[in-house]
Amino acid sequence: MKYNSLNECIVDLEKNGQLIRVKEEIDPYLEMAAIQLHMYEKNGPAILFENIKGCKYCAVSNLFGTLDRSKFLFRENLNTVQTLIKLRNNPIQAIKKPLKYFKTALSALHALPKKVAFSKGKFEEIEITNLPLITHWPKDGGAFITLPQVYSEDIEQPGVMKSNLGMYRIQLTGNNYELNKEIGLHYQLHRGIGVHQSKSNSKNIPLKVSIFVGGLPSHTLAAVMPLPEGISELTFAGILGGKRFRYALKDGYCISIDADFVITGKVYPNENKPEGPFGDHLGYYSLTHDFPLMKVDKVYAKKNAIWPFTVVGRPPQEDTSFGALIHEISGSAIPAEIPGVKEVYAVDEAGVHPLLFAIGSERYTPYLQQKQPSELLTQANHILGTGQLSLAKYLFIAEENNILVSCKNAEVFLKHVFERINFERDLHFQTNTSIDTLDYTGEALNLGSKLIIAAAGNKIRTLSKKIPDGIEKITSIKNPTLIFDGVIMLEFKAFKNYEVAKNEINELKTKLLQLNLSGIVQIVLIDAFEYKNKLNDYLWLTYTRTNPSHDVYGFNEQFKHKHWSCSNALIFDARKKTHHAPELEMLPDTKNSITRFFNKGASLEKWK
């Protein structure tokens, strides 16, 4: 269905049993977020909050809470977008079969943004304090916008077609922001707005920024879509929504006519203020750091505006559905962009950027009887040099064969790699390099290391299906747990510092070597932990709490011509470190306070 507004979308979802209204008064401080987290966990519908304490506007969450609902929202044009991407990858098909792709070509007319006149009758001027000021987690620095569409232009090539529309969190209150006049603009590495701000700074002029909230669901998805540089997100929004992106110019700012809310302002060169903390999608708080300061010019709202929001935390959360939908839309583009690569999959359970799986190919040396990663390493480096994929911390890449057809099943994929990995050859570290801004395992913000683990050829070992006999006699460890074949997790003493850790792990290796470790390829050291889902817990703990260069050990470690290798198995030290950010936890009082919404006769009784 083609929507003309967010309200039309909400009516459509409600008519189809995919939205529920909450009429009781709810506190935007922690309660709204807690409801969202609960409803997502229950695989529940979208939620319209009609009575927000201290605010006249409604808010909606969980719009994209399931992949099926996300696809439902774009059911009319999703196939068209996928076809256009395929045509971009193989344009000769359109020439060979023009009638088949005629409708697709016509739909591309929606790609062109449409300039219209700004009408004061459609918007009213308000202030930041009139917005739903939602605080999501107890240690958050204030209220944040979590589904913003942040618009900026290239001052050297102004205009909407060279613009950037990105989803970068916005802090509305807290810290030392001057209320109603200043807000925080947080963005990470490899984001288009950074290029725009750099150019503005070089000319010592402020960057004009517009923040859109709400509007067509296609606009929200466009803001998070990883499009190639030079392609405007506005064109993607138009095709996906089946309606041209309508905008007006007001006071030198771009205004989305279909947005529910618009905030305009300027980011001045070298003017930053502390932003955060914020409970983020890795399941930890991103801490307080200096980020660009946006000085607010105007805040607009439609008279019956609706405020969409989401809550991020330890995955899976609503943004998981975003990722799944993006993969469905753009998955065919990866093989076209990176020769030889068949599939790339960001592992959501590990927070997306910390862990990537990929399937590549070894095509150049078919005459060799014994295969080894060669072209795979070229492909791995290409992946780590591509857009946001470059933020990956661990990249496991395997050769395509008749056995391995996908990397979406983490257990199957890892078993395949672990059965083939050569510990003397297949581990490739990159040190003192950039990692995700939200990842605190490195030595400084944006700074850490990477590890490529490549596997090709035939199976060289059988993975153990049991914990090594006698391991329970090692007094320094507790609760040995087999996660899946060949992988065990051990509770170990609390981390003190890296010098102590090295000595502790060397002592542990000496004791482990006295056991039969045949078929064990990975040993993960953790703090005391209560498992809920062993595989998901393993993915989260192992890859969000380790820095490859500092926390990966091996038996019989050695350097040969600067290449690190080991034998037997890898040891990952996934204990909490003193420099790690705290993990997210809901307050017991908040859990208790939201029970009233699930009592008999309350709005959410069915979803208790």
Element (H, E) at 415: helix 410-420
Q: Are strands 355-360 and 394-399 parallel, antiparallel or unpaired?
A: parallel
**471-573 has the same fold as 318-455:** yes
- Express each pLDDT in 309-344 by its tens digit: 999 999 999 998 888 888 877 765 667 678 889 999
Instruction: State phi, psi for 567 to the nearest 5 degrees.
Output: -130, 170
CA atoms within 13 A on the CB side of 375: 17
Neighbouring-strand partners of residue 523: 488, 571
Alpha helices in 303-407 (DSSP H): 318-330, 333-337, 375-383
> Is there a cis peptide before residue 588, judged by omega within 30 degrees of 0?
no
**What tokens does 38 get?**
């609960």
Residue 157 DSSP class: B
The owner of tokens 């927000």 is 52
Would you list the DSSP string of 217-265?
Answer: HHHHHHHH--PPTTS-HHHHHHHHHTS--EEEEETTEEEETT-SEEEEE
CATH number, domain 6-309, options 2.30.110.10, 3.20.10.10, 2.30.40.10, 3.40.50.10070: 2.30.110.10
pLDDT tops 80 at residue 6: yes
Please state, for a pLDDT cut of 70, what percent of the chain lies above it: 92
List pLDDT tens digits, range 201-236: 888 999 999 999 999 999 999 998 877 655 678 988
Q: What confidence score (pLDDT) does residue 187 get?
A: 79
Per-residue pLDDT tens for 61-109? 999 999 999 999 998 887 777 666 654 444 444 333 443 433 444 456 6
The Cα-based distances of 238 to 6, 123, 223, 250, 406 in angstroms read 15, 22, 12, 21, 32
Q: Which residues of 35-61 are buried (b: 16+ CB within 10 A; e: fewer)?
A: bbbbbbeeebbbbbbbebeebebbbbb
φ, ψ dihedrals at 308, nearest 5°: -85, 140
Question: How far, in Å, CA of 426 to CA of 414, rounded?
Answer: 14
Instruction: Give the span between the Cα atoms of 209 and 563, in whole angstroms.
Output: 47
The span from the CA of 88 to the CA of 109, in Å, is 16
Widest distance between CA atoms in the chain: 79
Q: What is the pLDDT of residue 97?
A: 43
Mean pLDDT along residues 516-544: 97
Tell me phi and psi for residue 506, to 5 degrees.
Answer: -65, -40
Q: Please answer whether residues 552 and 451 qualify as being in contact, where contact means their C-beta atoms are separated by less than 8 angstroms.
A: yes
Q: Helix, strand, or coil here: 111?
A: helix
Which residues have a Cβ under 8 Å from the Cβ of 434 and sit 6 or more positions away?
189, 390, 391, 446, 447, 448
Domain boundaries, the chain: 6-309, 318-455, 471-573
Residues 438, 442, 447: CA angle, nearest 5 degrees: 75
* Cα–Cα distance measured from residue 81 to residue 111, given in angstroms and rounded to the nearest whole number: 11
318-455 has CATH 3.40.1670.10 classification: yes
Q: Which amino acid is at 88?
A: R
Q: Which of 455, 326, 333 is closest to 386 using CA atoms? A: 333
pLDDT in tens, 466-516: 999 999 999 999 999 999 999 999 999 999 999 999 999 999 999 999 999
Q: What is the CATH number of domain 471-573?
A: 3.40.1670
C-alpha torsion sign, points 72, 33, 53, 132: negative
At 185, is the secondary structure helix, strand, or coil? strand
